[in-house]
Amino acid sequence: MKPRYQKSFLQPFFQAIVRILMRVLVRLDVQGVENLPRKGPAIITPNHVSWFDLPLVFAYANSAVVSFTAEKWEKHLAARWLLRTFGHAIFVQRGEIDRQALQEALQVLREDAVVGVAPEGTRSYSGVLQAGHDGAAWLAGRTNATVVPVAMWGHEHVLADWRRLRRPTVHMRVGAPMQLPPEARKARSKDLPAYTEIIMRQIAALLPPELRGIYG
């Protein structure tokens, strides 16, 4: 059976266009993209600073990445098409535990695909890392998926910078792939925060000290 989630022959073309546009609009400092997974089960866990995060990860992805996206964008036809076409989006209800979305992501990982999950859940407008939620740890534990931490900064106020005719320097660091301990497969809800802490500290280690927040 042909996998549902795989890198299409057009993806490198669109990635090249996105990278060219980015280099016109911002100064890019990207390291570690060789760590981005080519196959799953794998979970890319970026911090969440801006709408700019998704195209930045897409521009360098080595695989099709199924992304969690706020359900409000499902109501916008153009955004929904873009997110489903290039982000294979799973739309998530914010402010609550969306069990349906988690089950969809679980099935994606069981098909040996790659999922992108921002553990913070909501955007950090300051760029300082916020407390992580347990969804990524739960998914990684249940599937034994590889976890790839990603840290991005410098684009916290990218629209304001453009309005001032500034090109901000945007940084992306992709950390070494890791796996949670074997016992995470049977973790209960009360155990998950400890595994979330492991993931969040890996993200924090890629950020400048002043942006690591409670994980500094």
Read off the pLDDT of residues 111-149 as tens digits, 9 standing for 90 and up. Answer: 999 999 999 988 898 999 999 999 999 999 999 999 999
Predicted local confidence at residue 83, as pLDDT: 57
Grade residue 74 by pLDDT with cuts at 50, 70 and 90. Answer: low
User: Is 50 exceeded by the pLDDT of residue 201?
Assistant: yes
Q: Which is more confidently placed, 102 or 199?
A: 199
Q: 2-60: per-residue pLDDT in tens?
A: 456 666 677 888 899 999 999 999 999 999 999 999 998 999 999 999 888 988 998 99
Q: 146-187: per-residue pLDDT in tens?
A: 999 999 999 998 889 999 999 999 999 999 999 999 888 888
Predicted local confidence at residue 12, as pLDDT: 86
Q: Is the pTM of this model over 0.85?
A: yes
Q: Can you give the three-state secondary structure of the chain, one letter per residue?
A: CCCCCCCCCCHHHHHHHHHHHHHHHCEEEEECHHHCCCCCCEEEEECCCCCCHHHHHHHHCCCCEEEEEEHHHHHCHHHHHHHHHHHCCEEECCCCCCHHHHHHHHHHHHCCCEEECCCCCCCCCCCCCCCCCCHHHHHHHHHCCEEEEEEEECCCCHHHHHHCCCCCEEEEEECCCECCCHHHHHCCHHHHHHHHHHHHHHHHHHCCHHHCHHHC
User: Is 50 exceeded by the pLDDT of residue 1?
Assistant: no
Q: What is the mean pLDDT of residues 193-213?
A: 97
